[in-house]
Amino acid sequence: EAAVTQSPRSKVAVTGGKVTLSCHQTNNHDYMYWYRQDTGHGLRLIHYSYVADSTEKGDIPDGYKASRPSQENFSLILELASLSQTAVYFCASSGTGDSYEQYFGPGTRLTVL
Amino acid sequence: GDSVIQMQGQVTLSENDFLFINCTYSTTGYPTLFWYVQYSGEGPQLLLQVTTANNKGSSRGFEATYDKGTTSFHLQKTSVQEIDSAVYYCAMREGNMGYKLTFGTGTSLLVDP
């Protein structure tokens, strides 16, 4: 079965610290995405990638970097974590062609103190 | 730019009640529209995809339609059950914009037994 896994599942970070969230997919999908979820805002796209070693900015990229070292792995990096980045982060993957379904991971709850 | 408006933030129903959730969209292209469902503690998952105006998509007792004239799309279910309690997101992919999705802010459905 297609699967997207995320690690860690939860994390507490200090303001100004560096945070790396990891995502791994076994779907053989070309596209991978990072979203953040906040009450009242729904899901907002931070970064996405359609091929290894390349990333694209989404709708809210400020304060975040992304890395796609292989087709299966996609990381989200917060170089200087801030209080406003407290949220739940979801990774997703999707294929190409006529199927646009995105498969989501279970999410990472990040709390910045 | 593209946008999806989902006005109903929270809906509380009793079992066997009728569910109707509405979203409006704005795009310059030809959209493909989706409904995703997120159960507590999980990532979102695709519920329905609607690709043709005035045609219905259906899954798990839910039906979705969209009206090109009013740029709106709807999710409905005749008789909800407690297990339908979840957050429902509408989403849109613009025709020529790769595989990015724009999500609404979500409707939290609580079904009382």
**For position B83, what pLDDT does the model report?**
96
Are B88 and A33 a contacting pair, CB within 8 Å?
no
The SS3 call for residue A17 is coil
Note the pLDDT tens digit of each residue in B3-50. 899 988 999 999 999 999 999 999 887 788 899 999 999 999 999 988
Please give the residue that has the higher pLDDT: either A85 or B60: A85
Note the pLDDT tens digit of each residue in B88-111. 999 998 765 567 889 999 999 999
Closest by alpha carbon to A102, among A20, A29, A24, A13?
A: A29
Query: Which of chain A's residues have a Cβ under 8 Å away from the Cβ of B101?
Result: 45, 100, 102
The token pair at B1 is 């730019």
Q: Looking at CA atoms only, how far is residue A77 from chain B in angstroms?
A: 20
Sorting pLDDT into bands at 50, 70 and 90, what band is A40? confident
**For position B96, what pLDDT does the model report?**
58
Q: What are phi and psi of B22, to 5 degrees?
A: -125, 140
Instruction: Measure the CA angle with vertex A99, ends B33 and B66; round to 5°.
Output: 20
- pLDDT, mean over chain A: 93
The token pair at B65 is 């339609």
